Amino acid sequence: MTDAPAVAPTPSPARLVTGPFVSLAVAALAFYVAGGILLPVTPRFVEDRLGGGSLEVGIVFASYAVASVLASGRNSKGMVRARAAASTAIPFGKGTK
């Protein structure tokens, strides 16, 4: 009889869906949903409840943009983030009526 060569067992691939991964995914989803809820609701709230106009809506969105830039911290792409945040706030300052 001939002996078969010993074959080393292949290691199983690492699992992606683990407890920490699911926790992080749920937290990220909650974060982006909470941020996304503000976008369609804020202009109506500022105009109807607070009595503001389109200029005030633009100021509110610009303040969101400035706060997000300040909260993001300083890194090598800080200026790119600042320009992107400012460019997203500019269209909201135009009249909606």
The domains of the chain are located at 41-91
Closest of 21, 31, 64, 28 to residue 46, by C-alpha: 64
Distance CA 62, CA 46 (A): 13
pLDDT of 25 over the 90 cut: yes
Closest of 47, 63, 56 to residue 94, by C-alpha: 56
pLDDT of 81 over the 90 cut: no
pLDDT mean over 30-48: 88
pTM given for the model: 0.48
* Residue 11, φ and ψ in degrees, nearest 5: -70, 145
